[in-house]
Structure 1
Amino acid sequence: MELEQPCSINSIKTKIKEEAINRKVPYPMNYLAIVHHDPASCYGVSFPDVPGCFAATDKATDILKNAIAALDDYFSDFAEIPQPRDIETIRTEVAGDLAQGAYLLAVPYIPRDTIKERRQVNLERGVWDAIDEAAKTLTNGNVSEFLGLAARNEILVRQGQIALDD
């Protein structure tokens, strides 16, 4: 981020906001990951569209969660987010891996903008009470953080990207 000297807090905030607006991408984007697993090792996840981004886990149930976190960490360092390619292109590219037992997994990426936006939300009092209680337990009382996590989770569940625990 280039700033002219001297700069004020307001000029820095404006520049950060402009850069965040320029980075907007469709929410969520789905990147195809290739998952490898040998019986004596952990699950390894890599992204053909995101070279250098990897995840690993010992448990199959943590593959998607760790892959989402890997994308989030990886993209937090880059100003430009690549557009994911279509499944047929990826399938052709990794055909050898797929033939050896690897599989493809769609991994959603919802960018975490650093710019917060204030919105008014009207809910029933009982819902607010439940939100307040859940926020105390899950986000140290931070209702905004809880609502953001709940919304992300709901988006991913509705898209079939994650399943609710029974």
Structure 2
Amino acid sequence: MKYPVKIIKKNHDDLYELTVPDLPGCQLKGKSIEVVMNGITEVIANHLSILAEYGESIPHASLIDELIANQPNVIWAVVDFDIIPYLGKSHKINVTLPELLITRIDDRVNKSEEHKTRSGFIAAACIELLNKNKSN
């Protein structure tokens, strides 16, 4: 999931504050943009772990263009974060797919650094489609 993040320079304490608008309370302060960008994945992981522990759903990411339109005078960035480990326990299911589609999936997985397994690829594709339909 590609979560937009907002970065604001806090002049009174000379720090940068990074917040994830889609994950209320998920924020980090640091001495530079590099520091907050490097640390935010751990903060997101901790936040999503708590949501998963309490059985809460993982919020989908907002469109960064909409956020920029509403708050154009701040620094915006995107953090690509794998939410699959926070969706709950894995269950084995039997799925029937056409052979050509399986071959295409396997070829993509073999060439991809992002997807390590066929199951991970299918899960990511499902999440993307579900989130796309949710915003429509």
TM-score normalised by the chain length of structure 2: 0.53
Contact 2:17 2:28 in 1 (8 A): yes
How many residue pairs get aligned? The number is 86
**Which 4+ stretches in 1 moved above 6 angstroms?**
none
- The secondary structure found in structure 1 opposite 2:78 is strand
Report how far residue 31 of structure 1 moved.
0.5
Contact 1:33 1:45 in 2 (8 A): yes
Tell me which residue corresponds to 2:82. 110
Contact 2:3 2:61 in 1 (8 A): yes
**Same amino acid, percent of matched pairs:** 16
CA distance in 2, matches of 1:84, 1:94: 16
Specify whether residues 93 and 48 from structure 1 end up closer, same or farther in structure 2 by C-alpha distance, changes over 3 A only: farther
Report how far residue 60 of structure 1 moved.
2.8
TM-score normalised by the chain length of structure 1: 0.45
CA distance in 1, matches of 2:71, 2:20: 10
Of the three residues 70, 74, 87, the one matched with 1:93 is 70
Tell me which residue corresponds to 2:43. 70
- The secondary structure found in structure 1 opposite 2:37 is helix
Gap runs ≥5 in structure 1: 1-28, 118-153, 156-166
- The secondary structure found in structure 1 opposite 2:79 is strand
CA distance in 2, matches of 1:43, 1:57: 5
Report how far residue 49 of structure 1 moved.
1.7
Report how far residue 38 of structure 1 moved.
3.6
Gap runs ≥5 in structure 2: 92-112, 115-136
- The secondary structure found in structure 2 opposite 1:107 is strand
User: Pairwise CA RMSD of aligned residues?
Assistant: 2.4
CA distance in 2, matches of 1:83, 1:58: 29
Higher Rg: 1
Contact 2:10 2:17 in 1 (8 A): no
2:59 is the counterpart of 1:82:
yes
Specify whether residues 77 and 43 from structure 1 end up closer, same or farther in structure 2 by C-alpha distance, changes over 3 A only: same
